[in-house]
């Protein structure tokens, strides 16, 4: 077919990004410092409503520094949601710590509180209390915020909230990215807004923010020469990338509206198709940015049509879709680490598919997607 490719999730510029980049060039702030960093950070702090934001060159860097801020060291154990992108878990290994993976629960697809507590009790019984909990707001869905916080408080284990996919999502009116003891955002090319590549760490104190910036800029101390007493990193965001971020903040709410419209579009497409459920948050306490719209197939009710059948017919029409994140405990690199739970994450991976969700898809794109789906399930438009 000669049709353009429809991607899962693409960058979507608002219009003012290039103006702010030009400003950066005009004053020669082509460096990982400059006025756009401060402005982008202030914009994010205003948007989140609470917390102190330091912008970095990736979400992965933010998770790495976040674990350091929470005191994770070599030999420690870190509890981590298994169903996620590998960037949630890789920084545990950077630190020489051990990941302990936890299953999801079916309502949010995020950390299962029961499996989490079972893991904590068992790890303590085996002689080591875990140092941190990595909880993810997968596909924009807030995790079980209150249940996980209760467990965190009961055992005094801090939460690192991975909100890489959830900028703009809320729980009871409070923004995701403000629920962790440390939280993390990502501005990679596929996310709700992008700086081409970038991330942020959100902390609950100005002092922790300063500490994050200190570590992200080579841990250089206040002296006329270069003075270092700690290991540092080169993780600060570029002023040019922050210019893109400034422009993107102006269209963030509009882009979330458009992502949510894609979710409504899929609810409509699948409304008469037996055995396919469009993932939707459970109640009005949770508000999702619906970064990606996702569906679960029940091959018994679809008369044998699997998520792989759906993926392949879409691919045949030049439309990208992707299975849900493959759980970390099933990945070769992580298969030797402990896992607590059952097969919720595994079953989601087997039957789930992410569908094109960009904020810049057109009516014609939606119509193409709808036709392919209805054809597969033999439904008339
Ligand atoms: C994108 C993503 C990250 C990593 O962010 P980068 O900016 O790409 O480094 C971390 N966790 C999750 C769940 C993500 O989706």
> Do 365 and 339 meet the contact criterion of CB atoms below 8 Å apart?
no
Q: Residue 58 CA: which ligand 1 atom is closest?
A: 7
Q: How far is the CA of 116 from the centre of ligand 1 (A)?
A: 22
Name the strands in the sheet holding 199-203, side by side, starting at the edge strand that comes first in the sequence: 52-56, 199-203, 182-186, 159-162, 132-136, 77-81, 98-102, 339-340
Q: CB within 8 A of 379, min separation 6: which ones? A: 272, 273
Name which of 8, 13, 7, 6 is nearest 193 in CA terms. 13
pLDDT beyond 70 at 97: yes
Q: Tell how far CA 77 is from the center of its chain.
A: 22
Whether 183 lines ligand 1, by a CB cut-off of 6 Å, is no
Whether 188 lines ligand 1, by a CB cut-off of 6 Å, is yes
Token pair in block for residue 53: 């934001």
245 vs 239: CA distance, rounded Å: 10
285 vs 184: CA distance, rounded Å: 21
Least confident of 3-7, 90-94, 156-160, 168-172: 3-7
Token pair in block for residue 174: 């409070």
Q: Residue 63 CA: which ligand 1 atom is closest?
A: 10
Q: How far is the CA of 6 from the centre of ligand 1 (A)?
A: 22
Q: Tell me the pLDDT of the chain averaged across its residues.
A: 97
Compute the average pLDDT of residues 195-209: 97
pLDDT beyond 70 at 218: yes
Among 85, 90, 169, 236, the mutation site with the greatest number of ligand 1 atoms within 8 A of its Cβ is 85
Could you tell me the pLDDT band of residue 166, with boundaries at 50, 70 and 90?
A: very high
Please, which residues bridge with residue 182 across strands? 160, 203
Whether 162 lines ligand 1, by a CB cut-off of 6 Å, is yes
Among 11, 56, 60, the mutation site with the greatest number of ligand 1 atoms within 8 A of its Cβ is 60
- Is 191 part of the annotated catalytic residue set? yes
337 vs 328: CA distance, rounded Å: 10
Whole-number pLDDT of residue 381: 60
Write the pLDDT tens digit of every residue in 255-310: 999 999 999 999 999 999 999 999 999 999 999 999 999 999 999 999 999 999 99
137 vs 141: CA distance, rounded Å: 5
Whether 140 lines ligand 1, by a CB cut-off of 6 Å, is no
DSSP class per residue in 160-195: EEE-TT-TT-EETTEETTSSSSEEEEE--TTSSS-S
Distance in angstroms between the alpha carbons of the first and the last residue of the chain: 21
Whether 135 lines ligand 1, by a CB cut-off of 6 Å, is no
Name which of 92, 43, 85, 41 is nearest 64 in CA terms. 92
Q: Whose CA is nearest to atom 7 of ligand 1?
A: 59
Q: Which stretch of DSSP H or E encloses residue 346?
A: helix 344-351
Could you tell me the pLDDT band of residue 173, with boundaries at 50, 70 and 90?
A: very high
> CA 267, 268, 271, 276 torsion: positive or negative?
negative
Whole-number pLDDT of residue 3: 81
Percent share of the chain, pLDDT over 90: 98
Whether 195 lines ligand 1, by a CB cut-off of 6 Å, is no
pLDDT beyond 60 at 1: no
Give the single-character DSSP code of 133. Answer: E
Whether 164 lines ligand 1, by a CB cut-off of 6 Å, is yes
User: What does the angle CA 193 – CA 162 – CA 144 come to, to the nearest 5 degrees?
Assistant: 115
Write the pLDDT tens digit of every residue in 32-59: 999 999 999 999 999 999 999 999 999 9
> Do 80 and 135 meet the contact criterion of CB atoms below 8 Å apart?
no
Domains recognised in the chain with CATH numbers: 17-251 (3.40.640.10), 253-378 (3.90.1150.10)
Whole-number pLDDT of residue 376: 96
pLDDT beyond 80 at 344: yes
Token pair in block for residue 92: 């545990």
Write the pLDDT tens digit of every residue in 109-138: 999 999 999 999 999 999 999 999 999 999
Q: Residue 61 CA: which ligand 1 atom is closest?
A: 9
Q: How far is the CA of 333 from the centre of ligand 1 (A)?
A: 18
Could you tell me the pLDDT band of residue 379, with boundaries at 50, 70 and 90?
A: confident
Q: Residue 191 CA: which ligand 1 atom is closest?
A: 1
Residue 288 backbone phi and psi in degrees, to 5: -105, 140
104 vs 162: CA distance, rounded Å: 15
CB atoms within 10 A of CB 131: 21
Could you tell me the pLDDT band of residue 380, with boundaries at 50, 70 and 90?
A: low
Which residue out of 131, 144, 175, 191 is catalytically annotated?
191
Whether 158 lines ligand 1, by a CB cut-off of 6 Å, is no
Beta-strand relationship, 293-297 and 199-203: unpaired
Whether 59 lines ligand 1, by a CB cut-off of 6 Å, is yes
Give this prediction's pTM: 0.97
């Amino acid at each position: 077919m000669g049709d353009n490719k429809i991607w899962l999730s693409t960058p979507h510029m608002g219009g003012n990004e290039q103006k702010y980049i030009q400003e950066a060039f005009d004053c020669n702030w082509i460096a990982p410092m400059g006025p756009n960093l401060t402005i982008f950070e202030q914009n994010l702090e205003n948007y989140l409503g609470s917390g102190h934001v330091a912008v970095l060159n990736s979400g992965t860097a933010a998770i790495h520094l976040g674990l350091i801020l929470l005191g994770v060291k070599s030999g420690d154990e870190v509890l981590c949601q298994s169903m996620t992108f590998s960037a949630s878990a890789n920084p545990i290994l950077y630190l020489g710590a051990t990941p302990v993976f936890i299953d999801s629960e079916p309502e949010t697809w995020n950390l299962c509180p029961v499996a989490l507590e079972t893991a904590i009790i068992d790890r303590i019984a085996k002689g080591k209390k875990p140092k941190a909990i990595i909880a993810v707001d997968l596909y924009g869905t807030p995790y079980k915020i209150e249940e996980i916080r209760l467990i965190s408080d009961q055992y005094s284990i801090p939460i690192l909230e991975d909100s890489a996919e959830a900028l703009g999502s809320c729980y009871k009116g409070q923004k995701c990215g403000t629920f962790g003891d440390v939280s993390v955002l990502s501005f990679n090319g596929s996310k709700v807004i992008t700086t081409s590549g970038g991330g942020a760490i959100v902390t609950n104190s100005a002092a922790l923010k300063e500490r994050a910036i200190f570590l992200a800029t080579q841990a250089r101390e206040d002296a006329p020469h270069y003075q270092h007493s700690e290991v540092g990193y080169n993780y600060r965001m570029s002023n040019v990338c922050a210019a893109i971020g400034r422009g993107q903040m102006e269209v963030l709410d509009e882009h979330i509206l458009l992502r949510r419209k894609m979710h409504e579009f899929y609810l409509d497409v699948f409304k008469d198709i037996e055995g396919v459920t469009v993932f939707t948050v459970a109640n009005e306490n949770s508000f999702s940015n619906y970064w990606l719209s996702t569906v679960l197939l029940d091959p018994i009710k679809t008369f044998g049509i699997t998520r792989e059948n759906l993926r392949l017919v879409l691919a045949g029409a030049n439309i990208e879709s992707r299975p849900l994140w493959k759980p970390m405990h099933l990945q070769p690199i992580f298969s030797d680490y402990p896992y607590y739970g059952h097969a919720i994450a595994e079953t989601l991976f087997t039957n789930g598919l992410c569908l094109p969700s960009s904020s810049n898809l057109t009516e014609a794109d939606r119509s193409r997607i709808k036709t392919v789906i209805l054809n597969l399930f033999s439904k008339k438009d």
